[in-house]
Amino acid sequence: MEALKKSVHSPFVIILLNLALGFALYGILITESLVSIGLIIAFIALVLFLERYGIVNEVFDAYNDNKVVALISGLLVILAVPVSLKGNIYIAHISTIAVLYAIACLGLNFQMGSTDMTNFAPAAFMGLGAYSVGVATSKFGLSPWVGLLAGIFVTGIFGFMVGLPTLKTKGYYLSLVTMAIQIAFTQLMNTIRYVGGSDGMSGLTKYSLFGYDLYKRYTFFGIRFAPQVPFLIVCVLFLIAFAYISMRVYHVSYGLSLNAIAQDEIAANCLGINISRQKLFAFVIGSIFCGVAGSLMVGLEGYVGPKSYDFAKSLLLICMVILGGMDNTIGIIVGAVFLSIITEKLRDFADYQQLVYGLLLVVLLIVRPNGILPRRVRKYKNLIRRNAGGKQVEVSTEPTA
């Protein structure tokens, strides 16, 4: 095991690991539902086993040490997955959903994971983003990108307004307030004629980029891609950008102050942290993430309706965050991707879908109460040890997130 721990630090092993992860993802995506669920369980079991011996943490450190290699090879692998998907539109579709849920979960994490504020309304914010695109394209004839930008404003402002009452409430009360907001949102969208009531709006203009249709079949290097692949790639790029923002926020004083608030509000307040401002920050930035995910969701089917963003969807997002690992960016993406794929693959089980789903969740949370990849301790580079005389004694270099 010690030898294994050492070996993961070589860039070559990192490339191999990325390839293996790519293959695992590919395998899970293309196999039949039963096989693919078996693969997921096997993968989780492997992670759990390796974690026992501290290898998961070692791998994380190794990725940090070899950031450039890890990033480039990881990107190539991620892009290779849709390449190998070729004509399979169904899988491109699942992948896009998984990626968009991951973005929404990263947003929800600012509130739930970092600040310990349960928010039962992330789907409502996705919905706001989606409806913004719907209204912008169908009522004003604007580009969906303009709708997405408008969605950022709308969700930001609503995030702020929802954040205001939560400054006064905590715990169960906060949960109730956000639940009420979620239910009010679904009810409102159901009744407002202008946005199509319970039918929603369909046939909406989808995204295009520099005049290129993102849903056409393109042929590159002799490979004919599924129609949705370009849009999937755009969504992946969004996820990468938002994951980077999440990691940065986690590492700096923004994330740390949110953690401090979660742990002890009075102490945080007495250390100069403006609690209200930071909580609002968590709500606004989180809502914007959810909103962008929702806006992009419209690009899947050109449809937006109240049922797509109801309470059940909020619960699903919450499960993804809890299962993946609160306040761990990579963990949350893993949780979102897994649960999205599982939800899709379980469709074949028809009546048993909910049962199997519930069982999986319970078992996972029993073996892993803190999620698949729990919160990690922040590491700082270049910390020097000084002895009493102020002289430097030992230099330690550690990876920084």
Contacting residues toward other proteins, per CB under 8 A? 244-245, 248-249, 251-254, 256-257, 259-260, 263-264, 266-275, 375, 377-388, 400
Name the nearest CA neighbour of 78 among 312, 237, 269: 237
CB of 340 to other proteins, least distance (A): 27
Helix (H) or strand (E) holding 71: helix 67-85
Q: Which is nearer to other proteins, 153 or 244 (CB)?
A: 244
Residue closer to other proteins (CB basis): 41 or 401: 401
> Is residue 324 within 8 Å of residue 336, measured between CB atoms?
yes
- Tokens 């290779």 locate to 80
Considering just the CA atoms, what is the radius of gyration of the chain in Å?
22
Q: Report the nearest approach of other proteins to the CB of residue 172 (Å).
A: 21
Least separation in angstroms between CB 54 and other proteins: 14
DSSP state of 110: I
Q: Report the nearest approach of other proteins to the CB of residue 327 (Å).
A: 10
Cβ neighbours for 121, distance < 8 A, ≥ 6 positions apart: 162, 178, 179, 181, 182, 185, 314
b/e per residue, 42-68, with b = 16+ CB within 10 A?
A: ebbeebeebbeeebbebbbbbbebbee
Q: Which is nearer to other proteins, 152 or 249 (CB)?
A: 249
H and E: helices and strands count for the chain:
16, 6
Angle at 73 between CA 377 and CA 105, to 5 degrees: 50
Residue 133 or residue 284: which is nearer to other proteins going by CB? 284
Distance (Å, rounded) from C-alpha 15 to C-alpha 20?
Answer: 9
Which C-beta is closer to other proteins: that of 275 or that of 330? 275
Closest approach, Cβ 113 to other proteins, in A, equals 12
Amino acid found at 123? A
Distance CA 111, CA 280 (A): 10
Tokens 């990849």 belong to which residue? 373
Residue 266 vs 362, nearer CB to other proteins = 266
Check residue 304 and report its DSSP letter: B
Q: Least distance in Å: CB of 367 to other proteins?
A: 21
Alpha carbons 357 and 169: distance in angstroms, whole number: 32
117 vs 195 by CB, closer to other proteins: 117
Helix (H, G, I), strand (E, B) or coil at 208: strand
- The least distance separating other proteins from the CB of residue 164, rounded to whole angstroms, comes to 17
Q: Which is nearer to other proteins, 77 or 260 (CB)?
A: 260
Q: How far is the CB of 245 from other proteins (least distance, A)?
A: 6
**Judged by CB, which is closer to other proteins: 68, or 388?**
388
Cβ 174 to other proteins, closest distance in Å? 20
